[in-house]
Amino acid sequence: METLPLILEPEQLEPLLGSSELLIVDFSQQESFLSAHVPGAVYVDFKRLLAGTPPAPGGLPSIEQLTALCSEIGLTPNKHVITYDDEGGGWAGRFIWTLDVIGHSKASYLNGGIHAWAKEGHPVSQEAEIATATNYQIKQLNQAVIADKAYIIKRHLEEDCIIWDARSALEYTGQKVFAEKGGHIPGAINFEWTAGMDSEHNLRIKTDIAETLDQLGITEDKEIITHCQTHHRSGFTYLVAKSLGYSRVKAYPGSWYEWGNSPDTPVECP
């Protein structure tokens, strides 16, 4: 199989269905998956991507948990993962990041997810796929794509670093608060995740998003650290930055849940 791009269009995937070299993973709501999914797709509950425990419930699960998940869905080092969801790329992007963390680089996002796939006439299935379990081994974690609280405290105001806040404008300004403290990390740039989705083209990534980000100062020459509340929405923004070829992209899985509840973190409000 030829090398597949990170952002894969539905018409590129359809002729590849049934290939033993692919693993298609669906992070939609279960009701959506049961109604219609890409033939051969394996359903995964998005909660499997989260630690689920304080002080950072959005944090990375343990290596043991990740190993179990990868083995259950039938991942092997030579399989190319195609992932999607029903919301425009948040959970699928979080999975792309997770695969980067465990060193599995063969992965693509189905642009527009199930919306683009089903609405544009590609075949759908209602049959649950039973994966053939494997014994996937995670050797080490790729720290280059992970930012923790201490790292951001050190780096957030340096000129070559941009904090990309994917939350809503009301969360960013502190008008809507989901932690002990409201507001944002000082110097962070707010670009809400759904603003990068094209509602007129079945939630595909907007084709002009590079220009929009450039105008905001989120540029490829900087280290980009993206976050939201639990690194769900910022799964999409991580995916976008990676798709644009930004070479230094990290995600902060602790996100605002950890930052906004920590006594030692600086917070800015307009």
What is the spatial distance between Cα 154 and Cα 263, in angstroms, rounded to a whole number? 16
- Nearest Cα residue to 195 out of 213, 171, 178, 182: 213
228 an active-site residue? yes
Judge whether 35 and 126 are in contact, CB under 8 Å: yes
Of the residues 70, 161, 228, 269, only one is catalytic, namely 228
Interacting residues of 20 by C-beta distance below 8 A, sequence separation 6+: none
Interacting residues of 212 by C-beta distance below 8 A, sequence separation 6+: 191, 195, 196, 206
Judge whether 231 and 58 are in contact, CB under 8 Å: yes
**How many C-beta atoms surround the C-beta of residue 268 within 10 A?**
13
The amino acid occupying position 125 is S
Report the half-sphere exposure of 232 (CA within 13 A, side-chain side).
17
b/e code 68-97 from CB counts within 10 Å (16+ = b): ebbbebbbeeebbbbbbbbbbbbbbbbbbb
Q: Collapse the DSSP code of 234 into the 3-class scheme (helix H, G, I; strand E, B; otherwise coil) and give the result.
A: helix
What is the spatial distance between Cα 197 and Cα 33, in angstroms, rounded to a whole number? 21
Among all residues, which ones are annotated catalytic? Answer: 228
